[in-house]
Chain A
Amino acid sequence: MPQHRFTFRAMAAQHEIVVDALDAVAAGNAAQAAIADVARIEAKYSRYRDDSVTTAINRAAGTAAPVAIDGETAALLRYAAQCHALSDGAFDLTSGVLRRAWDFRRVPPALPAPAAVDALRELIGWTEVEWDDGAIRLPRAGMEIDFGGIGKEYAADRAATILESHGIRHALVNLGGDVRTVGAQHDGTPWRVGIVHPRAPGNVIGSLELAGAAVATSGDYERFIEVDGRRYCHLLDARTGWPVDHWQSASVVAPVCTLAGTLATLAMLRADGDAFLRGQGFRFLLVDKKGRLVT
């Protein structure tokens, strides 16, 4: 059975959908539908888009009127609330404001002043956000929500479901490293996913096999600066405002990608990430500070 590969760009990254199907046209139609939904989610939740739901919510921060939201957004907020509770506050949908102090593109790289970070931490507080199934309000001006931590994984899950609804039984969706599969490959063998080596581009440090499950990878190499020989990556602990450095990367297997992504991020935020994942019963591949594999 032929394997069709569709690559496309969205959310400033490269993605691909792989489909095992006899009918190339059907595969193409299914993939196009899935890609269209990814684009829809990007347009709806991207903080870079002027007309997105996220921008509308953030613009109204500190004003009296709540912003109306639909069922999809409410579901994402419910999920974010669970992440916040499960991580004891380390994962916080309102922590995106820290971006204003941490500039990973500045040359030469420089650490933010602790006072700047502390000032921004005043604006972080998921528990203060007023929301329900129909509306949301950020109580203080300057507060922000950012779906960046769950949007891509959510889109991957939706894309896989759309492929299934088009009759596809063997497929793989990879959105910027977040993978969700539909079944195994057509011959019954699992999909082989290589895990990118955190310190070597395009090379692989390990692999995982998936048949219907998902894997997401979080790492300290996506965006970082190095100051005085120490790496400060973009994964910030919402409670301190500073980056974590327990692991170089974390890849977690879960039934859905949204969960895999959250678990990967949570593992990165915890020094005992491996024990945490083992305790929860999920397959994982962690790379520790010294570059050693922990499974």
Chain B
Amino acid sequence: MPAADPRGAALLAAALALPGVVSPAHAQTAPDQGVIGLRYFDYRDWQPGAERMTVRSPSLYLLKPLSDSLSVEGSVVYDAMSGASPLYFNTLSGASGLGITDYRTAGDAKLTKYFDRWAIGVGGAYSGERDYKSRSLNVDVRTWTADKNRTYAFGIAGTKDDINSATGVAEGRHKETYDFLVGVTQNLNAGALIQSNLTYSDGRGYYDDPYKLFDRRPGTRHVLAWLTRYNQYVARFDATLRLSYRFISDSWHADSHTLEAAWVQPLPYQLVLTPGLRYISQDHAFFFHGPPLGNGLVAGQPYSADPRLASFGGITPSLHLAKQFPDGWSADVGMSFYRQRGSWHIGGNDTPGLLDFSARWYELGVQKTF
């Protein structure tokens, strides 16, 4: 099953986070070069005493200018996820052993047309797993001032998910989500840039996790997210400081604050080193109950013991290194660690007994412009 966060909003945010979009000076004309990139992403998480989940995912990305004012881009990703999740059990007994591997294929494509003072992009995405299919369409419009120092962005996305554990608990269930985004990016003096985006996500349908023993969630979810980014060029080091703060207000009451800081440091030999640190504090969903499983279950009321809906604080230190090579080649490698604890939550530990959770992921990428 995919993660609980709304996919459409993530897609829009990702569209606006694509290279070249953050700094408006580049985004206003159609790209004149194509880009092809190959990435490999390796993720593993664990809890004390047990390994849980691994994801390995190679992906391919392509951006191609079709004309002076039209470009197309797309990516394809193939995830292999495997692992056991002995949260409440000592071990698992299954025909293939302690866990099975599930595969997910996903792809997205987008067409963007550029005009003198605005651009419009239309895109679609598809994701398929054995029991979960997701399709979405998105449209975004950007417009900028004559001096290109300010850009306004508007976006709409619609996602339809089909959940079909065909011979399981959930048969022919659906979920629909609509996402809206408004944002502004402003170039400030002295090499600084500020961006603020407001996204609203409205979803209705089947949210339960049909494979968990007790799990019944509300049939709707509304999420308001406000993200503000601030980038500052620091001439003394020829580096850029990136700061961001995101606040999420959620109808399930799993509100969260995320603070992120990164330092982009160019080095000799065409290298760029970026250390980063992120902190998130999330409140628990109103229907979340911590261990033991079944604690607080009331017939007819929503209930979930999914740790992703618990109250916790999490810290992610990361390090990323990129190198430019001749002829438009570049390569990068990044590594992140994540540690989550109930006691790191702002306002104290609301979920006693929640197991600590750790994860690590690394990614490798190779890219060529043509």
Contacts and interface: CB of A to CB of B under 8 A. Distances in A.
Interface of A: 3, 5, 7, 13-16, 18, 172, 174, 176-179, 185, 191-205, 207-208, 215-222, 248-249, 251, 289-291
Given A177-B98, A194-B88, A199 B131 contact: yes
Given A5-B50, A202-B53, A202-B85, A193 B99 contact: no
B49 interface: yes
10 closest A-B pairs by CB: A196-B94, A219-B95, A203-B211, A194-B89, A176-B97, A291-B167, A201-B100, A222-B95, A200-B211, A201-B102
A127 B97 CA distance: 32
A194 B91 contact: yes
B104 to A, nearest CB: 11
B93 A291 contact: no
B100 A202 contact: yes
Contact of A13 (B50, B88, B96, B213): B96
A251 B93 contact: yes
A290 B166 CA distance: 8
28 contacts: A13-B96, A14-B99, A15-B97, A16-B91, A16-B98, A176-B98, A177-B93, A177-B94, A177-B95, A193-B89, A193-B92, A194-B92, A195-B93, A196-B92, A196-B95, A196-B96, A197-B211, A198-B95, A200-B131, A201-B82, A202-B82, A203-B211, A204-B89, A219-B94, A219-B95, A219-B96, A222-B95, A222-B96
B293 to A, nearest CB: 10
Nearest to B81: A201
A216 B93 contact: yes
A174 B167 contact: no
Contacts of A202: 52-53, 82-85, 99-100, 102
Given A202-B85, A291-B167, A196 B100 contact: yes
Contacts of B121: none
Contacts of A192: 88-90
B165 interface: yes
A291 B169 contact: yes
Nearest to B210: A200
Q: Which of A176, A177, A193, A201 has the most CB of B within 10 A?
A: A201
B93 A178 contact: yes
Nearest to A11: B97
Contacts, number: 131
Interface string B185-229: 000000000000000000000000011110000000000000000
Contacts of B168: 197, 199-200, 291
A217 B96 CA distance: 9
Given A3-B49, A290-B167, A196 B99 contact: yes
Contacts of B117: none
B266 interface: no
B58 interface: no
B210 to A, nearest CB: 8
B33 interface: no
Interface string B86-119: 1011111111111111100000000000000000
A18 B90 CA distance: 8
Interface of B: 1, 49-53, 81-86, 88-102, 130-131, 165-169, 210-213
A179 B49 CA distance: 18
Contact of A201 (B91, B99, B210, B213): B99
B102 to A, nearest CB: 4
B190 to A, nearest CB: 51
A177 B92 contact: yes
Contacts of A251: 93
A195 B91 CA distance: 9
A231 to B, nearest CB: 10
B93 A196 contact: yes
Contacts of B91: 16, 18, 172, 174, 179, 191, 193-194
Nearest to A152: B97
Given A194-B88, A202-B53, A221 B167 contact: no
A248 B167 contact: yes
Nearest to A13: B97
